[in-house]
Amino acid sequence: MRFPSLPSLLIAWLSVPVLLGATEERVERRFVVQPQGQVTVEVDFGAIEVVAHDRNEVAVDVWRQVRMGSERKEKEFLAERPVNFEQAGNEVSVKVARSLTPGFGWSWRGNRREALYRIAVPVQTRLILVTSGGHVHVTGVGADVQARTSGGSIRFRQLTGTLVGDTSGGRIEVLECQGRTTVETSGGSIEIRGGGGSLEAETSGGSIRVGPYAGPVDVSTSGGGITVENVAGEVRGSTSGGSIRAILTAPLPGPVRLETSGGSIAVTMPANAAFDLDASTSGGGVQSELPVTVTGKARRSELVGPVNGGGHPVKLRTSGGSIQVRKAAPATLD
């Protein structure tokens, strides 16, 4: 992926918000590096966007804007928080040190601050990205990525490596990525689409949607539903505040365990799927469109037994709804 040309950058900069009566600052730096280096970005506010390109160069473009009602205060605010650049071999850092007087000249009423850090890196570059006030987007990088923000979304696209994402206030998207992925948010939904490896995802305030995905999946939420589709691996999902819907393939690639305290569970599988069903609910009934060889006493709220001769265990639990095992419609030829 190539870093945007000058016309493209000009168009991109036009997309950032412009505050009337605000003080702006723009800084550019270029660093010659070799592959398999590292870039660290640690800033007190602003969004971070990183893309991979095919040059042995780290290109950094910074835009910051502050409105405080006084040009003098705005310039002093930025001067107290300079953007510091350092290079040590193949490691480049972009950091904004916190002011010794963090409250200087600042109140939220009528004041605003915005920043955008756009960075292009060689494909095989490790990333450590930290911001206290903006989104983090990374595209096309083929090395490990760690991203943390206290006030925005995280989006990983077409990455390869170990991925760690943590936000306290936004949505997380992981699109067509390969490798071990661990993501967590306290205030948004999570979507994983395409790619594979292994996945651990947790949110306290939103829904989770996964699929298709090649590898084991372990997801949990305290405040939303879970949707899992076409996962080629073991599936574990739990929620305290929503329903669970799963569309699974045959042969079943691994064990399945789905639990909810606040909704129903619906699992759809092909008619020839073979597995050991263990489903029970405290707040409804259990039904299956696939034939179950029931073991023990048949009960409305429980269904246990092998399906099509048995196989991987499928354990379904809910305290607040019904459980349905549905038969997938036959595939049709276009």
**From residue 4, how far is each of 9, 10, 121, 227, 273 by CA, in Å?**
6, 9, 12, 36, 49
- In the listed set 189, 216, 242, which residue is the last one of a domain according to the structure? 242
**From residue 316, how far is each of 232, 263, 276 by CA, in Å?**
19, 12, 11
**Which long-range contacts does 225-233 make (Cβ < 8 Å, 24+ apart)?**
225/263, 226/258, 226/260, 232/196, 233/196, 233/198
The total of structural domains in the chain comes to 2
Q: pLDDT at position 3, please? A: 39
> Do both 42 and 161 map to the same domain?
no
> Do both 23 and 92 map to the same domain?
yes
Cα distance between residue 135 and residue 133, in whole Å: 7
User: Do 132 and 147 meet the contact criterion of CB atoms below 8 Å apart?
Assistant: no
> Do both 35 and 54 map to the same domain?
yes
- 8 belongs to a structural domain: yes
> Do both 9 and 106 map to the same domain?
yes
> Do both 125 and 160 map to the same domain?
no
Q: pLDDT at position 330, please? A: 77
- 52 belongs to a structural domain: yes
Cα distance between residue 256 and residue 321, in whole Å: 19
> Do both 125 and 8 map to the same domain?
yes
Q: pLDDT at position 78, please? A: 92
Average pLDDT, the chain: 89
Q: pLDDT at position 299, please? A: 83
Contacts of 312 (CB under 8 A, 6+ apart): 252, 253, 254, 255, 256, 275, 276
- In the listed set 130, 159, 174, which residue is the last one of a domain according to the structure? 130
Residue 79 has pLDDT above 80, yes or no: yes
> Do both 122 and 163 map to the same domain?
no
Identify the three-state secondary structure at position 174: strand
- In the listed set 224, 242, 260, which residue is the last one of a domain according to the structure? 242
Q: What is the pLDDT of residues 102-119, one digit of tens each?
A: 433 344 455 788 999 999
- 308 belongs to a structural domain: no
Q: Which domain holds residue 91?
A: 1-130
Q: What is the pLDDT of residues 245-285, one digit of tens each?
A: 999 999 999 999 999 998 999 999 999 999 999 999 987 89
